[in-house]
Amino acid sequence: MAQAYMTETGSGGQGPGRRGPRLRRLLSTLRNDPGVWRRGIVVAALAVCLALVMLLHAQVPNRIGNLGSLTETFLPWLGVFVPLLLVLALVRRSATALIAVVLPFAVWLNLFGGLLGDKTGGGGNLTVATHNVNADNPDPSGTAREVAASGADVVALEELTTSAVPVYEKALAATYKYHSVQGTVGLWSKYPLSATAPVDIKLGWTRAMRATVTAPDGRLAVYVAHLPSVRVKMEAGFTARQRDKSADALGEAIADERLSQVVLLGDLNGTMNDRALNAVTSQMRSTQGAAGSGYGFSWPASFPMARIDQIMVKGVEPVTSWTLPETGSDHLPIAATVKLAATTS
């Protein structure tokens, strides 16, 4: 019996005796083939560079075409280069490259691995939604019904046109008793609105507003904003000066807010990683990062690559966050449930 056991696991089986020779052969290969360390230096260098870009993205300068902000907008997508580098390392049979590829993988996992899990909670008492409806939306009425079907208590819409506003008002009237439109943004609510006013984000026309929502479980300030779009131009690169200026003005307005519970809804034309939004992101947190599942990309709707539409909170506890089905817009609507504290200040 002992001899049979040795035969099964030693040479032909899958036990420890089988793994021993494999390890010895691997060590022998590394010892007798010095090229396994010399090959793949270029692949290894690329892996190290990728890791450094992700790790030090805040140091990528914005002086040339706002390259830093562009990198930060699509930062999670740099992870797609990791499996590519892994394949190249295997093709080159390079131990050096294989070890180097671990670096960008570890950095990416540290930055974005937490978003892979489901952080959805329970116990919220207010659901909010926001949607850039697109000025050229061919079906504004259908879009309004889709957003209302989310069950949101408060809905913000951006990129409203003068001709489309009556359509949205009619489609949402049965669900939302209160609403206010300021310029190209609007807020619809099941609960009373007060102190409604435009917010100056240094554009010369109104693309942001603020209102107090008096919900059964507490009062909160709701900001709706549509920051200017960014453009990629051949002669200037990634241009975002106006967006950045407006983000600073919005951040100042939120910092001066007297109510302790604040929700920001809107299209910020930037992600939470974009340093240009620091005036806002430094004092608020994203519901997707705190209570969502996955990345929650919202744009473009046909193949979402970035979350430039945001629901952000201050003094409010995020519970859940999700994206809604595609409408006639080039953005996906997003929604979140939050927990308010019973307070009047």
As a whole number, mean pLDDT of residues 230-259 equals 80
User: Do residues 90 and 149 share a domain?
Assistant: no
pLDDT tens column, 249-297: 999 999 999 999 999 999 999 999 999 999 999 999 999 989 998 899 9
Q: What is the mean pLDDT of the chain?
A: 88
User: Do residues 159 and 241 share a domain?
Assistant: yes
User: Do residues 65 and 193 share a domain?
Assistant: no
Q: Flag whether 19 is in a domain.
A: no
CA distance 320 to 121: 6
User: Do residues 41 and 145 share a domain?
Assistant: no
pLDDT band at 8 (very low <50, low <70, confident <90, very high): very low
Single residue among 56, 86, 116 that ends a domain in this structure: 116
Q: Flag whether 228 is in a domain.
A: yes
Nearest to 70 by CA among 59, 78, 62: 62
pLDDT tens column, 75-111: 999 999 999 999 999 888 888 999 999 999 999 999 9
Q: Flag whether 49 is in a domain.
A: yes
User: Do residues 240 and 310 share a domain?
Assistant: yes
pLDDT of 211 strictly over 70: yes
pLDDT tens column, 33-70: 667 788 899 999 999 999 999 999 989 987 777 788 88
Q: Flag whether 16 is in a domain.
A: no
pLDDT of 200 strictly over 90: yes
pLDDT of residue 240: 73
- 141's enclosing H/E stretch is helix 140-148
pLDDT of residue 92: 87
pLDDT of 186 strictly over 70: yes
Q: Flag whether 71 is in a domain.
A: yes
Tell which wins on pLDDT, 160 or 61.
Answer: 160
Q: Flag whether 6 is in a domain.
A: no
User: Do residues 75 and 206 share a domain?
Assistant: no
User: Do residues 254 and 326 share a domain?
Assistant: yes
Q: Which two tokens stand for residue 214?
A: 């008096």
**Domain CATH code at residue 179:** 3.60.10.10
User: Do residues 59 and 195 share a domain?
Assistant: no
Tell which wins on pLDDT, 115 or 246.
Answer: 246
pLDDT of residue 145: 94
Single residue among 93, 116, 139 that ends a domain in this structure: 116
User: Do residues 69 and 133 share a domain?
Assistant: no
pLDDT of 236 strictly over 50: no
pLDDT of residue 239: 57
Look-up of token digits 């951006």: 158
pLDDT of 6 strictly over 60: no
Nearest to 103 by CA among 121, 129, 81, 130: 81
Total domains in the chain come to 2
Contact 225, 199 (CB under 8 A): yes
Rg of the chain over CA atoms, in angstroms? 26
As a whole number, mean pLDDT of residues 167-193 equals 98
User: Do residues 71 and 185 share a domain?
Assistant: no
pLDDT of residue 233: 53
Nearest to 168 by CA among 149, 140, 138: 140
User: Do residues 94 and 219 share a domain?
Assistant: no
User: Do residues 229 and 152 share a domain?
Assistant: yes
Single residue among 91, 116, 141 that ends a domain in this structure: 116
Contact 283, 257 (CB under 8 A): no
CA distance 207 to 249: 12
As a whole number, mean pLDDT of residues 161-177 equals 97
Look-up of token digits 């005036």: 279
pLDDT tens column, 297-307: 999 999 999 99
pLDDT of residue 58: 87
pLDDT of residue 31: 60
Domain that holds residue 101: 33-116
CA distance 295 to 307: 8
Q: Flag whether 26 is in a domain.
A: no
pLDDT of residue 114: 81
Q: Flag whether 1 is in a domain.
A: no
Residue 331: DSSP 8-state: S
